[in-house]
């Protein structure tokens, strides 16, 4: 039987409620945090290659700007819903606060399968969406970035569109992050989310007294986040025994050559028919039942449900996706003493390096790749330690401890501003 709470916005509201209750916070604070400040719904007319015009529906949600300008990605996916975007914007607020960024959360989405669009149609949609949300974004107001189905090229088109509308002869680079390096992007941004997932898995292994170099890893989802998570966990010494995408699961007990698999997916757009070095192909659902020490869900929401959770054999879960574990599944995992690094910490590397990109754009001074990764690691490891220490002090799990820290940090500017 499927959970009744698969709506991601209902899940995040429940998480906020639990965090507020654990802190003894007021109902006023809960109600203020449980709904976004602003929800913009737009219709985007796009001229298609066959000369017809198709209209797409999109959203931009700004959850809370008390800590500073809002920040969050833009998702192009056929399953985008208003509630999903509201949930993602809310998670972004807490994610930013956990790693000490001066942002509130935001998120955007368009209901579309970008794989079905030509390059010109994708550009037209990207520019149309940027134009539609221009009235509510800006480098000191709301800074979008890439997410599922979007990338640096999409950000480049959006920068150009926004600059034509608001630039008055200027190129306004700091309004979007996740841009190509040649257009004000940040070295290490493409790798950042996956790198963070790997670093958090390493920190979790330390507190569980596990030798990372002896651990086996399964990565569910092999897009940008999952592929780099696999790459960096392999570099840290772990063995990647299974990876999966929307088409299949690739298993190799001897260890998958992650770099080779990444190159294969670039050429073939999926893992389908990947057979290198003894790897075998199974149905994509097989990722959940592979024997491993670390399981990294790096695809979409609600991957680990009350049904799939019973297949997982891991000791550690490092959540690369947003909201990959339902509350019912999480309860089961915690009862089994499985250590969960929650999404709002594990995948915070993307927004952390987006912040570094924003700072560089504002100051026109750029760091090296190594400097960026060092700054990201310092912030994320510090956040992990703070959350872990609180979880021990309060005898609670990492997710609840993360929300407690984030809510405490958000309540202060809210009260200072007189909103409470």
Domain ranges for the chain:
36-171, 191-346
CA-atom Rg of the chain in angstroms: 20
What's the rounded Cα separation, in Å, for the pair 306 and 377? 33
Architecture of domain 36-171: 3-Layer(aba) Sandwich (3.40)
CB of 349 closer than 8 Å to CB of 192: yes
∠ CA 327-12-87, rounded to 5°: 130
Q: Of 339, 403, 309, give the one whose Cα is nearest residue 202.
A: 339
Largest CA distance in the chain: 63
Nearest one of 409, 405, 420 to 15, comparing CA atoms = 405
Torsion angle defined by CA atoms of residues 254, 316, 385 and 89, in that order, rounded to the nearest 10 degrees: 110
Taking Cα atoms as reference points, which of 241, 236, 243, 231 lies closest to residue 299?
A: 243
| β pairing state of 249-251 and 239-244 | antiparallel
The domain 191-346 having CATH identifier 3.40.50.720: the answer here is: yes
Sort 55 into a burial class: Cβ within 10 Å, 0-12 / 13-18 / 19+: exposed
Q: Which residues are known to be catalytic?
A: 107
Of 397, 372, 411, the closest CA to residue 15 belongs to: 397
Cβ proximity of 134 and 166 under 8 Å: yes
178 and 145 Cβ atoms separated by less than 8 Å: yes
For the chain, the straight-line distance linking the first and the last C-alpha, in angstroms and rounded, comes to 41
pTM here?
A: 0.93
Euclidean distance between CA atoms 16 and 298, whole angstroms: 23
* Whole-number pLDDT of residue 1: 42
> CB neighbours of 159 closer than 8 A, spacing ≥ 6?
171, 172, 173, 175, 176, 179, 183, 184
Digitized pLDDT (tens) for each residue of the chain, 420 residues in all: 455 547 889 989 999 999 999 999 999 999 999 999 999 999 999 999 999 999 999 999 999 999 999 999 999 999 999 999 999 999 999 999 999 999 999 999 999 999 999 999 999 999 999 999 999 999 999 999 999 899 999 999 999 999 999 977 889 999 999 999 999 999 999 999 999 999 999 999 999 999 999 999 999 999 999 999 999 999 999 999 999 999 999 999 999 999 999 999 999 999 999 999 999 999 999 999 999 999 999 998 889 999 999 999 999 999 999 889 999 999 999 999 999 999 999 999 999 999 999 999 999 999 999 999 999 999 999 999 999 999 999 999 999 999 999 999 999 999 999 998
* Count of residues making up the chain: 420
Euclidean distance between CA atoms 404 and 151, whole angstroms: 32
What pLDDT score was predicted for residue 168?
78
């Amino acid at each position: 039987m499927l959970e009744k709470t698969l709506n991601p916005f209902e899940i995040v509201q429940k998480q906020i409620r639990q965090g507020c209750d654990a802190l003894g916070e007021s109902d006023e604070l809960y109600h203020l945090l449980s709904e976004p400040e602003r929800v913009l719904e737009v219709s985007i007319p796009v001229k298609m290659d066959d000369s017809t015009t198709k209209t797409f529906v999109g959203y931009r949600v700004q959850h809370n700007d008390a800590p500073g300008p809002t920040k969050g990605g833009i998702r192009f996916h056929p399953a985008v819903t208003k509630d999903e975007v509201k949930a993602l914007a809310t998670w972004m607020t807490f994610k930013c606060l956990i790693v000490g960024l001066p942002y509130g959360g935001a998120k955007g989405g368009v209901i579309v399968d970008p794989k079905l669009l030509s390059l010109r149609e994708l550009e037209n949609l990207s520019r149309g969406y940027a134009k539609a949300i221009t009235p509510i974004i800006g480098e000191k107001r709301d800074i979008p970035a890439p997410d599922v189905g979007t990338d640096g090229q999409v950000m480049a088109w959006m920068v150009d569109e926004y600059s034509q509308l608001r630039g008055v002869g200027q190129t306004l680079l700091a309004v979007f992050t996740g841009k190509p390096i040649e257009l004000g992007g940040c070295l290490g941004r493409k790798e950042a989310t996956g790198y963070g997932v790997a670093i958090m898995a390493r920190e979790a292994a330390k507190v569980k007294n596990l030798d990372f170099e002896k651990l086996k890893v399964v990565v569910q989802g092999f897009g940008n986040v999952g592929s780099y998570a696999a790459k960096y966990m392999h570099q840290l010494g772990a063995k990647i025994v299974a990876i999966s995408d929307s088409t299949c699961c690739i298993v190799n007990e001897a260890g998958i050559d992650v770099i080779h698999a990444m190159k294969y997916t670039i050429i073939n757009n999926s893992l389908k028919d990947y057979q290198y070095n003894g790897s075998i192909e199974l149905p994509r659902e097989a990722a959940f039942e592979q024997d491993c020490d670390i399981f990294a869900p790096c695809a979409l929401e609600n991957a680990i449900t009350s049904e799939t959770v019973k297949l997982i054999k891991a000791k550690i879960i490092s959540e690369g996706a947003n909201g990959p574990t339902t509350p019912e599944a999480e309860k089961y995992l915690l009862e089994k003493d499985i250590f969960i690094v929650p999404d709002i910490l594990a995948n915070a590397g993307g927004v952390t390096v987006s912040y570094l990109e924003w700072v560089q754009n504002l100051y026109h001074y750029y760091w090296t790749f190594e400097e960026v990764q060092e700054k990201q690691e310092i912030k994320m490891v510090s956040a992990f330690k703070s959350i872990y220490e609180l979880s021990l002090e309060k005898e609670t799990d990492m997710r609840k401890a993360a929300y407690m820290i984030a809510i405490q940090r958000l309540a202060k500017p809210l009260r200072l501003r007189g909103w409470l």
